Amino acid sequence: MSSLAIKNLTKEYGRTVVLHNINLEIQAGEFVVLVGPSGCGKSTTLRLIAGLEEVTGGTIEIGGHVVNDLEPKDRNIAMVFQNYAIYPHMTVRRNIGFGLRNSMKTRAERDARIEEVAGILGMTDLLPRKPSQLSGGQRQRVAIGRAMVRDPAVFLFDEPLSNLDAQLRTQMRLEIKKLHKRVGATIVFVTHDQIEAMTMADRIVIMKDGRIQQIGTPSELYHAPANIFVAGFIGSPSMNMIPGVASGGDVHLVGGVSLPIGIDGVDARNVTVGIRPEDLHPTDGPALFSGAVNVREPLGHETLIYVDTAFGEIIAKADGRAPPELGEKVNFNAAPKDIHIFDSESGAVLTRAC
């Protein structure tokens, strides 16, 4: 296991710039998840780390050494592909042992290592089988086993769970996390599923259009999003976004409601006010929003309610046992600390006075 540092990384395909100046420091043993919408450059970043593509600018360091000019085979990384890419003509044993072929180990040592990895992944029984005789989850495990067997400096995962059904995905998610605890490897994991990102990561890197939007722990991203994109991307259902205006240090919603927050140094600026559904609380006193319940989505432990307000539709969470009736008028308030103010133009979060 090694640290990984990406400095001013740029990637261009012809004239299209796919990655703009990516900077990322990953500690040894850290589990970092790259997340973002399709086409934002997650796979490209991984492929650059793996050496499958050439960088256009910047450096990649593994364990303190610049690896820009090294071939993939000399970088000591392992990669798990989205479609597994396990070799159909080899048994599970040969698939897992494939990466050991060029090592200095004796045959007995190799076999012992293969058995050990198979044991960790619970597939000792499957070793003599061919991939065609395995289920999707088992193939996935073979792919992970093949990556583990060499003890690589860094593990790269490119959406390894996206081909699995929901239940298996949850299970493998947990297994990969446990595996990380157990072998303590440095992992860069790509997904476009924010739940995977939130549940697995030590730190999350959110990307969009080839740029890093924010790097932070799941909790930081959730509670202190750096911009509108991150705020909207993390959390389900997403954050309510309401247009407003900042003037004279105060924030007013369209329609005249004043928010109980002050903003420094911005005047007469369009802002976007973000509030997460679970931060909206029903109130009998003065309300930020009020409106009639339009749609209810019962989830069991809670019910999502879509409320028609003067600012458009707002999503809130209500009690699962006694949600408001359809058409019922509800009033909501939110604590000042739970209200996020973003610059509407740049999207960046605005610092607050209080």
Partner 1 sequence: MAAFDGVQASSESVFERRVTRRKASLAQSMSWSILFFGGILTVMPIVYMISTSLKWPHEIYDVSLIPEEPHLENYTFVLEDGRFYGWFVNSLVIATITTISNVIFDSLVGYTLCKFRFPGRYVVFIAILSTLMIPTEMLVIPWYLMSQSFGWLDTHWGIMFPGLMTAFGTFLMKQFFETVPDDFIEAARVDGQNELQIWWSVAMPLVKPALAALAIFVFLGNWTAFIWPLIVTNSWEMYTLPVGLSTFADEADVAWELVMTGAAISTIPTLIVFLIFQRFIIRGVVMAGLKG
Ligand X SMILES: Nc1ncnc2c1ncn2[C@@H]1O[C@H](COP(=O)(O)OP(=O)(O)OP(=O)(O)O)[C@@H](O)[C@H]1O
Q: What are the angstrom distances between the C-alpha of 50 and each of 19, 75, 149, 248?
A: 15, 7, 17, 52
- Of the candidate spans 36-44, 110-118, 125-133, 237-245, the one that interacts with Mg ion by CB under 5 A turns out to be 36-44
Closest distance of CB 211 from ligand X, Å:
12
Q: Kindly state the smallest distance separating residue 32's Cβ from partner 1, in Å.
A: 18
Which single residue is written with the structure tokens 């947990």?
174
Q: Which stretch binds Mg ion (CB under 5 A): 43-51, 199-207, 215-223, 283-291?
A: 43-51
- List residues near partner 1 by CB under 8 A: 50-52, 71-74, 77-79, 81, 83-89, 98-99, 101-103, 130-132, 136, 139, 146, 150, 163
244 near ligand X, rule: CB under 6 A: no
List the single partner that 86 binds among ligand X, partner 1, Mg ion, none, CB under 5 to 8 Å by kind: partner 1
Query: Residues 97, 174: contact at Cβ < 8 Å?
Result: no
Residue 344 carries which side chain, given as an amino acid letter? S
Residue 140 as a binder of Mg ion (CB under 5 A): the answer is no
Beta bridge partners of 22: 9
Query: How many residues bind to ligand X according to rule CB under 6 A?
Result: 12
Q: What angle do CA 65, 68, 74 make, to 5 degrees?
A: 75
Alpha carbon 103 to its chain centroid, in Å, reads: 34
Q: Is 42 helix (H, G, I), strand (E, B) or coil?
A: helix
Selected binder of Mg ion within 4, 11, 43, 241 (CB under 5 A): 43
Q: Which stretch binds ligand X (CB under 6 A): 10-18, 175-183, 225-233, 279-287?
A: 10-18
| Spatial distance between the Cα atoms of 64 and 53, rounded to a whole number of angstroms | 20
E-only strand ranges, the chain: 4-13, 16-26, 31-35, 57-62, 65-66, 77-80, 154-158, 186-191, 203-208, 211-216, 240-247, 250-253, 258-262, 269-275, 281-282, 289-298, 302-309, 312-319, 329-333, 339-343
69 binds, among partner 1, Mg ion, ligand X, none (CB under 5 to 8 A by kind): none
Q: Which stretch binds Mg ion (CB under 5 A): 39-47, 231-239, 329-337, 341-349?
A: 39-47
Nearest distance in Å: CB 19, ligand X: 8
**44 contact, one of Mg ion, partner 1, ligand X, none, CB 5-8 Å limit per kind:** ligand X
CB of 214 to ligand X, least distance (A): 16
DSSP strand pairing (329-333 vs 154-158): unpaired
